[in-house]
Chains A and B, each alone.
Chain A
C-alpha cells in the first residue's frame, strides 16, 4: 500500500495542473515513481519536468524534503511516505 506525497509547484507550472499549487500523489519509493504517478494524471506537467527519455530537464530543480535531488540520487532519490517535493526553476536565462 502506498501513501501520498505532496508536490509544490511554482507559479509558472500551475497551468499544467489546473491551477493547483500543491498536488498530492499516491506514490512513494523513489522520485521517478512519484513523477511517473504525476505523468499519469498530469502528462503535460511531467513533460515540462522530464524529456522523452525520462531525464530531468537541465534547468528544473526538484527538492525532496529540502534536499536537491541531483545531490541525492537524481530520479532514484528515495521518497518517503508523507514527503514534500518542491519543484523550482533554476537560475538560468538572459
Chain B
C-alpha cells in the first residue's frame, strides 16, 4: 500500500508518500513561492489526477494538473478559472477543487474567492462560472471572513449529480437539487453570533462541512462558533458540540466509508484561537457527534499553540482510515489507525493551508 499526502502551504506544494503511513518521504516545494489553498485528488482515473490551485502573489492564480502524481504539471494557455467579462470581477484565488460524482467522471468543481462556483467538464483543465449561483439575489449580501470571501467547501452528492452543496465564509450553506438551476440557503439552526439576529436565513460563517460516509443526507459542520449535524441534507441543523472542549475551530472531517465517524480539531474560542488548554488534541466521534473522545497519543505534549485551518485536516481512503492534519507552524501529523496514534510527517514547513490524502 502506498499513500500520497499532498501538503499545500503558503509557499508551495509538498508531496509525501509512505508505504506504511509511519515513514514518509517528502518532496518539494512544487510551485515554490506560491500559496496552495486547494488540492484535489481525483481518484476516478486509473492514475489519480492531482489538481492544484496555485496562487502567486505577483503573477496571479491558476489551476495546474498532474497525471503522473506530481512529477510533472501542466496548465492551459488560457486561464483555467476566470470570471466572464460581464461580471466585472477578477479571480483572487481558488479555495477548493472537488471532483464530481463517479457518474460524471470529467466533472470537477472549483470554489473561489470572491465567492463563486465554477464547473469543469474536462477533468479540471478548464472551468465555467456556475451562473445560477453567481446570479443568486443573496450574493450581494454575502460578506467576507478574515481570510477573504470564498466558497471553501463543495460537496457533490456521491450518487445524484443534480445535488451539490457549497459553503462559504461568510454566507453560509447553499444547495441545489436540480443540477444548479436553482440554489437555496440551508442554514436553519446554525448560529451567526455576530449578527443582531443570530439565526438569519443566510450570512453564517460556516468554516467547513463534511458528508457522512453512510448516509449522504447526513452532514457535519464546523461553524464560527458551533458544531452541527444535519440529518436532512442541510434543511435543518442541530448542535453536536456537547462533549467537545469548545465549539470553535475550522476543520471537520468524516470517515471515508464508515458511517457516523467524524474528526475535528477544536480551538478554544473565536477570541482565543489556541487549542483548548494549549493541548494538541484531535477529537473523534463514532456516534455522529453524540459523544466525543480526545486523541493525542504521539502528538506533542508541550504547550501547543498553532491553528489547524479549515482545509488542513483530512482522511485517506485506506483501511483502516488514515487521518492527517497540518498546522500554521508547518507541522504535519498522520495517524494510520483512525486517530488512535500519531506520527510526524514533516516539520518546519511554511503555513499548512490544505492536506489531502489517498491510497494509490
Contact = CB atoms under 8 A, between A and B. Distances in A.
B57 A59 contact: yes
Contacts of B62: 47
Interface string B77-95: 1110011010011110000
Nearest to A92: B57
B58 A90 contact: yes
B77 A43 contact: yes
Contact of B33 (A48, A53, A93): A93
Interface in B49-82: 56-60, 62, 75, 77-79, 82
A51 B59 contact: no
Interface size class of A (residues with CB under 8 A): 10 to 19
Nearest to B60: A57
B88 A60 contact: no
A12 B75 CA distance: 17
A53 B58 contact: no
B90 A93 contact: no
A51 B84 CA distance: 11
Nearest to B79: A47
Contacts of A93: 33, 57-58
B12 to A, nearest CB: 13
Interface in A11-62: 12-13, 43-44, 47-49, 51-53, 55, 57, 59-60
Given A13-B59, A57-B58, A60-B59, A43 B78 contact: yes
B58 A51 contact: no
Contact of B91 (A43, A44, A52): A52
A53 B86 CA distance: 10
Given A53-B85, A93-B33, A47 B90 contact: no
A4 interface: no
Interface string A66-94: 00000000000000000000000110110
A82 B75 CA distance: 33
Contacts of A92: 57-58
Contacts of B33: 93
A19 B141 CA distance: 45
A79 B52 CA distance: 37
Contacts of B91: 51-52
B58 A89 contact: yes
B55 to A, nearest CB: 12
Contact of A51 (B56, B60, B75, B77): B60
A87 to B, nearest CB: 10
Nearest to B82: A52
Given A60-B58, A89-B58, 11 more contacts: A44-B75, A48-B60, A49-B59, A52-B79, A52-B90, A55-B90, A57-B59, A57-B60, A59-B57, A59-B58, A92-B57
Interface of B: 33, 56-60, 62, 75, 77-79, 82-83, 85, 88-91
Interface of A: 12-13, 43-44, 47-49, 51-53, 55, 57, 59-60, 89-90, 92-93
29 contacts: A12-B58, A13-B59, A43-B77, A43-B78, A47-B62, A47-B79, A48-B58, A48-B59, A48-B60, A49-B59, A51-B60, A51-B90, A52-B82, A52-B85, A52-B91, A53-B85, A53-B89, A57-B58, A57-B59, A57-B60, A59-B57, A60-B58, A60-B59, A89-B58, A89-B59, A92-B57, A93-B33, A93-B57, A93-B58
